[in-house]
Chain A
Amino acid sequence: MTFALLLLAAMVLAGAVWVVTLRNLFRAALSLGVVLLGVAGLFLLLEAEFLAFVQILIYVGAILTLVVFAIMLTARLQGTPGTAASPASRQRVGGALAALALFAVLAGATQPLLWPEAPPAGAVPLAALGQQLVTRLILPFEVISLVFVAAIVGAIAIASGPPGGARPR
């Protein structure tokens, strides 16, 4: 268990570092896939099998595919790395300092806390989750579906060209 945890943690951390540092955006997107798979593995370790499945299905299956499509659609504007068309990232030192400070503050806030040493015996059953979603949490559940519709309509409206089809280039 601990070995699997450490392995997944190393996978997630390495992938996350690649996501934010790699100059090639396509490779950064693929590293995001590594991170997402690692987090799904952690969900499995935490006995949230349904969420692990949802994570793989939605993130790796849908979002990552979309991101790769968007990267390929806009590849013409990216320029080759290292040239004037693709300038280096900004404020590396300041960003690293800010992220380190944030990490220190978060770790300092949560590490001294007392956590339950032995977790509850049984994991959260999937049936209980489904029941909560259609009883107590019905309002956020329905709001999410409304947000989905709004996001889809908005995305189509933004990404589609001007009416008529012909667009000036």
Chain B
Amino acid sequence: MSVRLILLLSHALFALGVYGVLTRRHAIGLLLSIELILNAAALNFVLFSRAFGHVEAQAFALFIIALAACEAVVGLAIVIGLARHAHTVFADQVDLLKG
């Protein structure tokens, strides 16, 4: 089992997620990129749980998955609210709070 290889993979997943957050303009695209980042973290936790024999690491991976579900639900609700009130889904066109 190659810890280093899977670590590199999770780093790549994280970096790709950051790239998506920086470049995506569609709000749902941002959410998808955040899911990538959260998955990279969960992958790390499971990898360390296997490498060091820790039970807690798996529990925290479970918490990450649960929190990702919450984040997706609230994020998508905000997107639908945005589409209703601001009539846009692009994150940089939302200026409801601008005076």
Contacts and interface: CB of A to CB of B under 8 A. Distances in A.
What's the dominant secondary structure at chain A's contact region? helix
Interface string B71-98: 0111011111101100111101000000
Interface size class, chain A: 35 or more
B36 to A, nearest CB: 6
Contacts of A124: 49-50, 53-55, 58
A167 B69 CA distance: 29
Contacts of B8: 107, 111
B7 A36 contact: no
Give the interface SS of chain B, mostly helix, strand, loop or mixed: helix
Interface of B: 1-9, 11-20, 22-26, 28-29, 31-33, 35-36, 39, 42-43, 46-47, 49-56, 58-59, 61-63, 65-70, 72-74, 76-81, 83-84, 87-90, 92
Q: Which 10 A-B pairs have the closest CB atoms?
A: A20-B20, A95-B22, A99-B19, A120-B53, A155-B77, A103-B15, A151-B70, A159-B77, A115-B3, A95-B23
Interface of A: 1-2, 5, 9, 12-13, 16-17, 19-20, 25, 28-29, 32, 35-36, 39, 42-43, 46-48, 50-51, 54-55, 58-59, 62-63, 66-67, 69-71, 73-74, 77-78, 87, 89-92, 94-96, 98-100, 102-103, 106-107, 110-111, 115-116, 119-120, 122-124, 128-129, 132-133, 136-137, 140, 144, 147-148, 151-152, 154-156, 158-159, 161, 167
